[in-house]
Structure 1
Amino acid sequence: MHNYKITIEYDGGGFNGWQVQPGLRTVQGEIEKAVEEISGRKSNVICAGRTDAGVHAFGQVANFKSRIDWGDERVLKALNRVLPDDIVILECEEVGSDFNARYSALARHYEYRIYNARSSIRRNFYWQYPARINLACLKRLSAMIMGEHDFKSFCVRKSQKESNLCTVTKSHWTKRDKEYTFQIIANRFLHGMVRSLVGTMIKISAGFSEEEVFEELLAKPKRSEKVFTAPPNGLYLMEVAYEIE
């Protein structure tokens, strides 16, 4: 049995998230159909981070096990030939049998994009927010996220885990013209965490709450009505880091 690691780019707008759901179009479902079509057998495709409906990826990583022994390049071309246009396999390589895209990952890198105006072209790939944004405030708030914290305040309640601790190694806002971009890298993420962080920071920067509210949400973690969740279409999974062999 061969274990294939694939790096995937997809436009999440046409999917009900990553995970297979009966009767719904999902990224995992489409890739598993493609693997079955080229190999003649069903395979479970495991990803590094399950994205929600509408969330995009430039560098999602997944793995699947199969009996096909064609070489990396041929497997990549075969998958892309049968996949829909909104999913592309960027890389394919055979890895050791113990590699697991989720549990072998050391860090995930997400990016969130906001356009500070209305735009018909960008509407599916940015959060259109044509209101006041205070960049200096955003930078102060993002600095608070650095390091290890309990992010229970920024996790969807139904999916909260025994441990909500995450270690953030990058948290930074940038601005170019009307585009605001938030970059965050951490060892793990909770469900809805990035969108909740972004939405809450934006609302505070716009004057709806005080900066101390954000500090308290980190210091005394609990889900609160003061947490605002940004829409999914501005979020991208950029890259997943693994130990270099």
Structure 2
Amino acid sequence: MLANGVAKIPAARKVVNRGSLMENGKVYIHYNHTDPCRHSRWTARESYQYMYRRPWQKVVDFYSDLVSCGKGASSLSSLFVDEKLVSQDITENFHSCEETCIANIPTKDKTGRWERVTFKIVLSYHGGSFDGWQKQPGLNTVQGLVEKSLGRFVDERKAKKLKDRSLPLEGCAVVAGRTDKGVTALQQVCSFYTWRKDVKCGDIKDAINEAAPGKLRALTVAQVSRVFHPNFAANWRRYFYIFPLDDGEGQINHSEMGCSNCAYALDDEQINWQPENDEEEQSMSLLDENEDDNMYNTVAKPRNFSVDKVNKLLQQLEGRSLSYKMFARDTKASRSTGPPTECFMFHARATDAKLPNDDKNCVGGLRVMCVELVANRFLRKMVRVLVATAIREAAVGADDDALLKLMEATCRRATAPPAPPEGLCLVDVGYGEFKQEKCLIL
């Protein structure tokens, strides 16, 4: 046992995992929690099983419909038909208030090559149709399509430079925050500048909308101050996560059910299930053969969780500036350069809802849990890890401050592996003052 709370498995050791025999030269470690819930808590592998065995395609289709309708963040209000939410309020706050703030940013008069025109572009795109935002060779990315569409608006000087270097004629789009493969955005913000004076906002909007109809949409294009930067000027970001409570087999996890009434032992099919394309997370789930780890495998594990409990866990994060390094992935926990791992959480809530059902022969729609998070910034995969960990802690009935305690852990394996990207959506990016009454979950 190591001092930081993890058990180490020696390299090149045979690891027996429920009938499977493996030879591996890597070192696998498993975090050992010390609270009373430690034996009932899901392992990384079991968390994956619980998360991925959901009807995610229905969530993907729902997000696709939101992008197609072109209403931006206000389209999410369809999940809360019983709530007193006026979608126009969200739209007005986004288009009028924030644009005014950006336009009034003072800037010195410049001449020559500094006399450029900057455009703010608000995009909506379906995550399931792209390989993420960032442009990568051979992949269908949002940035790649947007910059290709902007190529017709670059100035002659840049066009000549690109031609001399045998590069395609493309513009440069700076984004408020990159999204991973499978993540949808309803009001993503990016900027583009050019020295051409004849470029119209409507021309840029039409060019982007022609790139991938129904999958990528430019909602608004506006000319803004030259000093505007979509990332550095942002005051907050809002993410939304939809988690199906139906496990795909017709069983509904009722929010009022606690874990004490729904414990179960995983069957062979679930034990042998493996997530695809994530060897790192698979390796994290291999356990040592000692007595303590065997206890993790043999004790009955919870099957359901309380949505209300998830809400209580998340609410503990509101109004605090905390280090979320334990909830991040692909980001160094200790950084000597670059931005720190502290984030200020303005809003963190969860509630249950139903996805709209287009089939008139079906009664009601898929029951889901909705999580809404608003913070000044987010780390890589932070939202997905927060959602997965909150579900895991709610399932075992951990204390309401469980997420706060996990921030003091010394190993990221103390938190759950990221929830599937299909449920995640970047709702919008704010450049004015955050107003909680504009949130969907109050």
Q: TM-score range by the shorter chain?
A: 0.7 to 0.9
Within 2, Cα distance between the matches of 1:74 and 1:119? 45
1:145 and 2:260 correspond: no
| Correspondence list, 1:127-142, <5 A | 132-142=304-314
Partner in structure 1 of residue 141 of structure 2:
26
Which stretch of the first structure deviates more once superposed, 142-151 or 77-86?
Answer: 77-86
Residue 188 of structure 1 is matched in structure 2 by 377
CA distance in 1, matches of 2:308, 2:120: 40
SS at match of 2:412: coil
- Check whether the contact 1:38–1:79 (CA below 8 A) recurs between aligned residues: no
1:170 equivalent in structure 2: 347
The residue that corresponds to 2:224 in the other structure is 95
In 2, the alpha carbon distance for the partners of 1:47 and 1:186 equals 17
**Separation of aligned partners in 2, 1:168 and 1:58:** 21
Q: Which amino acid aligns with 1:46?
A: V
1:203 is matched with which residue?
392
Query: Mean Cα displacement is larger for which, 64-73 or 6-15?
Result: 64-73
Residues 27-48 of structure 1: CA deviation (Å, up to 9, x unaligned): 1111111111455643221111
Higher helix share: 2
Correspondence for 1:44 among 161, 172, 176: 172
- The worse-fitting range, judged by mean Cα deviation, of 71-80 and 50-59 is 71-80
1:193-217: CA deviation from partner (whole Å, max 9, x where unpaired): 000000111122222x734643321
Shift of 1:114: 1.1
Helix, strand or coil for the counterpart of 2:119?
strand
The range that moved more, 140-149 or 210-219, is: 210-219
Shift of 1:81: 2.4
Is the 2:313–2:402 Cα contact (8 Å) retained in structure 1? no
Look up the equivalent residue of 1:36 and give its one-letter code. G
Question: C-alpha separation between the residues in 2 aligned to 1:114 and 1:188?
Answer: 22
Q: Give 1:164 shift.
A: 0.5
Aligned residue identity for 1:210: A
What letter corresponds to residue 376 of structure 2 in structure 1? N
- Judge conservation of contact 1:13–1:56 (CA < 8 Å) in 2: yes
Residue of structure 1 aligned with 2:187, choices 59, 64, 84: 59
The AA in structure 1 aligned to 2:329 is V
Secondary structure (helix, strand or coil) at the match of 2:210 reads: helix
TM-score w.r.t. the length of structure 2 is: 0.49
Please name the residue that 1:124 is paired with.
Answer: none
Classify the secondary structure of the residue corresponding to 1:70. Answer: coil
**Residue pairs, 1:76-115, within 5 angstroms:** 76-115=205-244
| 2:130 is equivalent to residue 15 of structure 1 | yes
Q: How many residues align?
A: 233
For 2:120 and 2:394, the matched residues in 1 are separated by 40
Q: Which has the higher strand share?
A: 1
Closer/same/farther in 2, CA of residues 110 and 67 from structure 1, 3 Å limit: same
Percent identity at matched positions? 30
Instruction: Say whether 1:231 aligns with 2:420.
Output: yes
**Aligned-residue offset at 1:165:** 0.2
Give, as a single letter, the amino acid of the residue that structure 2 aligns with 1:33. K
Gaps of 5+ in 2: 1-115, 160-168, 250-302, 355-366, 434-442
CA distance change for structure 1 residues 94 and 119 in 2, over 3 Å: closer, same or farther?
farther
In structure 1, the gaps of 5 or more residues are 121-130
Answer whether contact 1:150 1:221 (CA < 8 A) is retained: no
| Per-residue Cα deviation, 1:59-115 (whole angstroms, up to 9, x for no partner) | 100001124433222321232123453110000001111111111111000000112
Give TM-score, length-normalised by structure 1. Answer: 0.86
Q: Which moved more, 1:70-79 or 1:16-25?
A: 70-79
Equivalents in 2 of 1:192, 1:221: separation in Å?
18
Cα distance between partner residues in 1 of 2:381 and 2:171: 28
Matches of 1:183 and 1:33, distance apart in 2 = 33
Determine if contact 2:308/2:351 at 8 Å carries over to the other structure.
no
Greater C-alpha radius of gyration = 2
- Deviation string, structure 1 residues 166-195 (Cα, Å, up to 9, x no partner): 000000011125221000110010000000
CA distance in 2, matches of 1:157, 1:168: 21
